[in-house]
Structure 1
Amino acid sequence: MATPPPFLNSNNPNPLTQASSRLPEDTVIYSIYPDNPLSQDALQSLHLQILNAVSPFTTSYIWQHEPFTLSIALHPFPHLKGHLRFGDNLNDEWFTVFLLFRVSVAFPSVSIQVHDSDGEFLLIEAAYHLPRWLNPENSQNRAFIRRGKLHIIPQSALPNPTLTESLNFLIENEQAAVAPDSVQYVIQNRIAGYPEKAKLNTHSVRVRVPVSVARVFKHAPSLISLAVEGFYDRDMDSMKHAAKMERFLKGRKGGEEEMVTVTVKMSRAMYAQLMQQRFQAPKCYPMPAKKGDLEAELGMKIACGLEMMYLEKKKEGEEGKGSGWKKYKESLEKSGYFKGLVPGSNEYTRLMENAEEYYKNSSLFSKTREMLNAPVRQIDEILSLPYSADEFKNEDAPPSDDDSWLYSGEDELNSALQDRQKEIELYELKREKKKSKEQKDTGASSSLKGEDFDLSELVKTMQGFMHKMSSYEGAEVHNDRDPKEVELDVERFMKDVESVMKYQGDENVTRDMDDDGGSSDMDFDESEDGSDMSDHEDGEDSFMHSYSDVMNNELKSTTLKKSFVHANEQTSVKNELCREHRMQQRIWMKSLVQWMWMSTLLKTFLTPLLVNKDFLVQLPICLG
């Protein structure tokens, strides 16, 4: 057995593993996890049951590149997995999603995970309806299909879920993970119409082809996908095979094959690929003298594509150098295996031979050969039995389907764009409504805070600032704080000022009402016995007592307290004293606001000087 390339060690991953795990673009990957651990025999039985369940939907369906398949996987634990390359045909991807939803209904004790080369495409489809916390960074191991519904593992339950944690959560708390109805609606709307929609995606076309090609498609109609792929992805090397047409045009006895007219089924995407490319018929291929024969032209493209595909896969199968070898070689180059050597040099050739020998002894090589040889063996088996053109001459080939859809796709595209635009507009409308509601709630909260403004807290804060001891170096700050930093919460300061001014404005309104003798809609109605007025006056006396006590407590260290008079000291001149009380309160509040502004200015502009140790030097300059 060949030794591995010398660069492989415990720190460098095996390029064979990287090559086998790397999938091409436009590929959908799916995994089916049973709730309970299954033995390999039980897993094999589940595998067959699932394939039998989906076979009624897939039997007559023409896949773009690969059919829906499943295989047994043992890592990280026994489950079923599969992948399907859909290429230019997105219907294949969504038809696969439809099949997976049907599987989840038929087998309720499984959880299904599906994604493609773009990521979690189910979440992408429902992006405008997802919870706000969900984003591509935290979406891994969160989206699962179960019992016919999409499930999303909540972040509150599992912030960073592993696959095992997510599967256990689905088993134990399935209802807590069910996605919102709006998300379910978007996904179900996307797969609505299947499997009937899959049949509408099929296009039948009448073509004129060699009898060998007609026989292949009669017994293996799914090979049309490989034939179209061989034509559409052709290169200079493969076109050399089409120039000779040795396999499908040359008869078994050396003569040319007869041409027959048959009807071939394909997807609409395949038909579009054949129609959009111009291709000159090989000189050896018989074409009618009349130009513009669509049946002959399409038949020629299909026959040439089948020829190129057959010989390319046969060559790659013999060498075992399909896409797996190309990825393996790319991994070697990226890993620095060839050491920057010039291709063709002796050392480069030696390293290449060593890598090829190692690759041929790997399991990837045998799997690649088997995969590449599968269609070749199938075609050889079909053509190994006797056949002739007579079996097709008696068959009535129906005419081609109407292909007006190929030229009227603009309307369908515009309709899809309009639907998406409506979805975006609805999302923006909901977002604006929510934003407006939040702003209203914030405004109400700010107003409530203003109404609950505590004047005593403001006084305590200002007194604490003014009474704080300072050294000769200026205002003292904590050691872990930047001495040059001056923090001023402007928003809080302005709210406090507005609250003070609001109280002042309310007092002005009250004074004007008292002076003018006016009334307000909020005033109490006087009853005949004066009971309502008496209750109101008692309430006012109680309020004035408590308010006066608070003011005296705040001003007990000042001489301003002496200017206030309790309401119960001279009841005969109550109204006059209240007016004086309010007037003195307004004067005090005005002084307080001015004091606040002056303190803020001093703190903002003088603190950088006061905290500087060179204050004694700078002070004369500032004063000068």
Structure 2
Amino acid sequence: MRDDILSFVSPFLQEYIWQKDSFSLREWSVVDVKNEKKKKKVWHEAAAPHLYNKQFFGECMDDEWFVVFLLLKISTSVELKEKYNPVITVQDNDGEFLLIESAYQLPKWISKPKHAINRVFIYNGKLHLLPRCITVEDPTSFGATNQTSQFYDDSKSFPPIDHAIEYLLDNERSTLASEQVQISAFERTEKFQQNLLKMNTGEADTLQEQQFACVFVPYCVSELLHTTKLLPHAIQALSDLDFNPQLLKIDPKYKKIRKLCDHHPQYAQTKKWIRVRFSRWLYAQLKFFSLPHDKMTPQEEVEMKLKFTNAEIKGILLGRKLEFAFSLLYNNLGPEDPLRTHFNILEETPEEDQLVSVGRAELADDDSEVWLEVSPE
């Protein structure tokens, strides 16, 4: 089941840039539940086998809603429905965030979070909400002479997940949330459907959540940008440093950090212009990050403006930040860290065509940054 689902969502993931963790699925195990209980973060799951995903998205809310978009696609897949008939739940730190989105359209009885436990599901591409009071036949009594029923009242108890799913499958129509709730709950996923249409029509370069920019970087950084997906991790290293500026004063390794190219002299110190695709969130983080110990004097700024165009200056400054970001990431990774294997590509001797450089004028223009302008209104 896991492999089938990951294979199904794979085409949707090709153009997406995650802020932190990427979408994955794990098979449930007793050990996982025991560990969650120790952390006091139990999701009220039953012992029935299932798949789950635990993902950190930081401050990038797009990642959270893209996951919801994927779950909707999984729940509407004809092939997956025929084989597995998936029933899905999704929560974040705030709990049932789909209900939060549709709070004004919900019935009053579900105003408290405890009333929603094991009552909110995604099924067949729709949001389902189990009613306030439900009665479910006890599965343990099936086949017995006197079958028993279990009654659950929101004010006193919540149904176990297996009982809740049984009720949902037997009452699919009556548990369907209202149209107003559906629209409010999934409104933020609509842009991903529009992006999917653009991808299918060859317009992937116009996706709303991405930003193209030309940067001037060392060859080793260029190679990593073209062949790996380390960009979010590198910018995250910058972000961690930005949130902890005292590290520059406490930890001497940040003051004299060894540049990435120093580890790989075969790439020398030559640089090249390349066009990089960012998510808007990653681009904003990079653009507004201030490089430590790399402030230009007024005279240096004047000389740079006389020598380069504004577009070139922008690309040079972004390139410096990227070089620092990848160097910081490389120096922070332990020898056993899985991410370190991505840097192995730099151990190879570069081909001559890899070292061929083009001018900034030969690359396409950067995307507009008008979306970065925040209006007080």
TM-score (norm. length: structure 1) = 0.46
Q: How does 1:52-63 map to 2 (within 5 A)?
A: 52-63=7-18
Residue 65 of structure 1 aligns to a residue in which SS? coil
Shift of 1:100: 0.4
Residue 304 of structure 2: aligned partner: 290
Residues 272 and 357 in structure 2, CA contact (< 8 A), matched pair in contact too:
no
Q: String of CA shifts for 1:490-536, please: whole Å, max 9, x gaps.
A: xxxxxxxxxxxxxxxxxxxxxxxxxxxxxxxxxxxxxxxxxxxxxxx
**Are residues 182 and 253 of structure 1, via their aligned partners in 2, closer, same or farther at CA, if it must alter by over 3 Å?**
closer
**Match of 1:171, as an amino acid?**
L
Deviations 1:184-215 (A, max 9, x none): 12123221121434831011111111110100
Please report how far the alpha carbon of residue 273 of structure 1 lies from its aligned counterpart in structure 2 after TM superposition: 1.2
Question: How many angstroms does 1:138 deviate by?
Answer: 1.3
| DSSP-derived class of the 2:128 partner | strand
| Residue of structure 2 in register with 1:403 after alignment | 369
1:146 equivalent to 2:144? Answer no
Consecutive unaligned residues in structure 1, runs of 5 or more: 1-45, 319-368, 415-624
Corresponding residue for residue 201 of structure 1? 209
**2:93 corresponds to 1:117:** yes
Letter in 2 for 1:71: R
Distance in 1 of aligned mates of 2:224 and 2:266: 19
After TM superposition, list the pairs within 5 Å mapping 1:244-323 onto structure 2.
244-246=256-258, 248-250=260-262, 252-253=264-265, 256-280=268-292, 290=304, 293-314=313-334, 318=335
Structure 2 contact 214–363 (Cα < 8 Å) conserved: yes
- Is 2:219 aligned against 1:211? yes
Q: Whole-Å Cα distance in 2 between the matches of residues 241 and 214 of structure 1? A: 24
Equivalent-residue separation in structure 2 for 1:281 and 1:56 (angstroms): 42
Matches within 5 A, 1:364-379: 373-379=337-343
The amino acid across from 1:96 in the alignment is V
- Please provide the CA RMSD for this pair: 2.6
SS in 2 for 1:68: coil
Q: Report the alpha carbon displacement of residue 246 of structure 1 after superposing the two structures with TM.
A: 3.0
Residue by residue, what CA displacement relative to the aligned partner does 1:388-425 show, whole Å, maximum 9, x if unpaired?
A: 57425356533321111111x438xx6xxxxxxxxxxx
Q: Is the 8 A contact 2:266 2:350 kept in 1?
A: no
**1:239 Cα offset (Å):** 7.0
The yes-or-no answer on 1:72 pairing with 2:13 is no
Distance in 2 of aligned mates of 1:50 and 1:282: 47
Residue 214 of structure 2 aligns to which amino acid in structure 1? R
Q: For 1:183 and 1:139, locate their aligned partners in 2 and report how far apart those are by CA, in whole Å.
A: 15
Deviation (angstroms), 1:182:
1.1
TM-aligned CA deviation for residue 243 of structure 1: 4.2
Report matched runs for 1:379-528 at 5 Å: 379-380=343-344, 382-387=345-350, 390-391=353-354, 393=356, 396-407=362-373, 409-410=374-375
Q: State the distance in 2 between where 1:389 and 1:299 align.
A: 22
CA distance in 1, matches of 2:14, 2:166: 35
Seen in structure 2, the aligned counterparts of structure 1 residues 251 and 136 have a Cα distance that, compared at 3 Å, is closer
CA 1:240–1:213: 2 relative to 1, 3 Å: farther
CA distance in 2, matches of 1:258, 1:98: 43
What is the identity, as a one-letter code, of the residue corresponding to 2:192? Y
> 2:259, 2:324 within 8 Å by CA — same for their partners in 1?
no
Q: 2:70 aligns with which of 99, 104, 107?
A: 99
Partner of 2:182: 184
Deviation at 1:85, TM superposition (A): 1.7
1 CA distance for matches of 2:53 and 2:103?
25
User: Which one has the largest radius of gyration?
Assistant: 1
Report the Cα distance in structure 1 between the residues aligned to 2:66 and 2:251, rounded to whole angstroms: 33
CA deviation string 1:35-75 (max 9, x = no partner)? xxxxxxxxxxx111111111111111111112111111134
Query: Judging changes above 3 Å, is the alpha-carbon distance between structure 1 residues 302 and 181 closer, same or farther for their aligned structure 2 residues?
Result: same
What letter corresponds to residue 102 of structure 1 in structure 2? K
**Contact 1:54 1:99 (8 Å CA) reproduced:** yes
Q: Which residue of 2 is the match for residue 48 of structure 1?
A: 3
Structure having greater relative contact order (Cα 8 Å, sep ≥ 6): 2
CA distance in 2, matches of 1:86, 1:47: 22
- Matched-pair contact (CA < 8 Å) for 1:203–1:401: yes
Supply the distance in 2 between the matched residues of 1:266 and 1:389 (Cα, whole angstroms): 27
| CA deviation vs aligned residue, 1:89-113 (integer Å, no higher than 9, x gap) | 1111111111100000013301111
TM-score, normalisation: structure 2: 0.74
Q: Structure 1 146/403 Cα, relative in aligned 2: closer, same or farther at 3 Å?
A: same
Q: Equivalents in 2 of 1:131, 1:51: separation in Å?
A: 35
Contact 1:261 1:392 (C-alpha < 8 Å) held by counterparts:
no
Q: Aligned partners of 1:263 and 1:281: how far apart in 2?
A: 26
CA contact 2:261–2:268 (8 Å) conserved in 1: yes
- Whether the 8 Å CA contact 2:19–2:57 is kept in 1: the answer is yes
For 2:291 and 2:124, how far apart are their aligned partners in 1?
A: 49
Relative to 1, partners in 2 of residues 1:239 and 1:400: Cα closer, same or farther, differing over 3 Å? Answer: farther
Identity across aligned pairs (percent)?
A: 29
Whether contact under 8 Å (1:231, 1:306) holds in the other structure is: no
Q: CA deviation at 1:252?
A: 3.3
Cα displacement (A) at 1:313: 2.2
User: For 2:352 and 2:66, how far apart are their aligned partners in 1?
Assistant: 37
Unaligned ranges ≥5, structure 2:
31-46, 135-151, 197-206
Q: Equivalent residue for 1:356?
A: none
Q: Distance in 2 between matches of 1:141 and 1:117?
A: 16
Q: Measure how far apart 1:156 and its partner are.
A: 1.7
1:233 aligned residue (222, 240, 253): 240
| Partner SS, residue 90 of structure 2 | strand
Matched residues in 1 for 2:324 and 2:237: separation?
8
